[in-house]
Structure 1
């Protein structure tokens, strides 16, 4: 095993231990939480190494990286987790199985056309702004993206009625400067309201390296981890 593979193995062991402890503290089974490795800026060799270590779900923030890495590792489940321009929908639909960042009706339309063209079903999560929760000011929170909680059900209906798409649940990032627990508690309420109308929309994508424990405490089914697994990123040019 190479030095890098050993480094990734050690990081993964630490992450898995954190997730296990968080699940125990929350009274949840470990298999209720899926780890999505976010490989933004890291090479496809790292993706292969993580796959060899048992990682099955990988996420990318940028379409440019997704379309390069996904064909090299087609057996993995690829998640797109970044802000998405409608014009990039066809490429994302070609390579990803899940889009975590659906935040507007025009993107629903673009993804629907792309999924139909690719002859596949695309699982869509609604990105929710949590600016209203916690102590962060609204401007700071809004900068992290997402629709207002009051608009989630309308967007979910658009997804559910679109060809080639299925409504999978919600995604969010805790607002900067807020208490992550308060923010994720709010997201859990939004997710509950969504499930009341769309029972199959049971995914809650929340939690990153710094706040995965709070996310799991409040019902996260998918945690998105980059730095804890792969180390400090090289800034994109």
Structure 2
């Protein structure tokens, strides 16, 4: 366990240095960017070690893995982000532990989240997931709403009981005009975020960037970066 903690500490230090350097290069304060460690496929023991090392925000993408992990780590005062595609039949479970749902991409999901949040007396923050590849008709499998659908979805979240509109999330596209161009993709997200804040000033969160492209995201104004392998190492194979 101590060897694992040493490994995680070293990886966290490397990622921290990358974020700090990207902030410095783009004239931003380091405090403007929050690191979320994506703990999907890793055990609760790793989550506990991360908390000992100062990590407070973690993310999961599958409810069947996240729910028991969140329950076993309930004593750690973590902020849990759900970042995977979310089916309506999983909403009630996800709302029970997720403080932030980053993958809101359709009106039906907003309605389900709102009903579950009111029932559970919780108020999760919701991010609209933007599918930038939808603009070029190359819609991938990662979910998300096309940029021209953000306004309608944001208004639905903002008006839904039990939900708070936090901002936007995206994943660098693998297809379309932004494929292989994460910097351009994240700049496009910044433009969409600026328009969103004109109508919803409190929707300031911009979740973008992962292990391979966090610098591009920071440069483009991301407030949150989601880093998994760079902190935790190569993912275990799922059975």
> What is the TM-score of this pair, normalised by structure 1?
0.95
* Pairing 1:71-90 to 2, within 5 Å after superposition: 71-74=71-74, 75-90=77-92
State the match for 2:100 in structure 1: 98
Cα drift, residue 73 of structure 1 = 2.1
Q: Distance in 1 between matches of 2:199 and 2:69?
A: 36
Q: Distance in 1 between matches of 2:208 and 2:129?
A: 10
Q: Give unmatched runs, 5+ long, in structure 2.
A: none
Match of 1:206 among 197, 203, 208: 208
String of CA shifts for 1:86-126, please: whole Å, max 9, x gaps: 11000000001000000000000000011011101110000
State the match for 1:20 in structure 2: 20
Cα drift, residue 236 of structure 1 = 2.0
Match of 1:117 among 113, 116, 119: 119
State the match for 2:163 in structure 1: 165
Cα drift, residue 65 of structure 1 = 1.5
Q: Distance in 1 between matches of 2:119 and 2:216?
A: 39
State the match for 1:187 in structure 2: 189
Q: Distance in 1 between matches of 2:170 and 2:62?
A: 17
Helix, strand or coil: the match of 1:131?
helix
State the match for 1:152 in structure 2: 150
Root-mean-square deviation (Å): 1.2
C-alpha change, 1:20 and 1:116, in structure 2 (3 Å) is same
Q: Do residues 58 (structure 1) and 58 (structure 2) align?
A: yes
Cα drift, residue 132 of structure 1 = 5.5
Q: Distance in 1 between matches of 2:144 and 2:49?
A: 32
String of CA shifts for 1:181-223, please: whole Å, max 9, x gaps: 0000000011111100000000000000000000000010000
Cα drift, residue 138 of structure 1 = 3.8
Q: Distance in 1 between matches of 2:180 and 2:109?
A: 28
Helix, strand or coil: the match of 1:204?
strand
Cα drift, residue 144 of structure 1 = 2.5
Helix, strand or coil: the match of 1:216?
helix
Helix, strand or coil: the match of 2:133?
coil
Q: Distance in 2 between matches of 1:15 and 1:138?
A: 34
Cα drift, residue 64 of structure 1 = 1.0
State the match for 1:36 in structure 2: 36
Cα drift, residue 234 of structure 1 = 1.6
Runs of 4+ in structure 1 deviating by more than 2 angstroms, as ranges, are 141-144
Cα drift, residue 66 of structure 1 = 1.4
Query: Any conservation in 1 of the 2:85–2:142 contact (CA below 8 Å)?
Result: no
Q: Distance in 2 between matches of 1:63 and 1:143?
A: 18
Helix, strand or coil: the match of 2:35?
strand
Helix, strand or coil: the match of 1:209?
coil
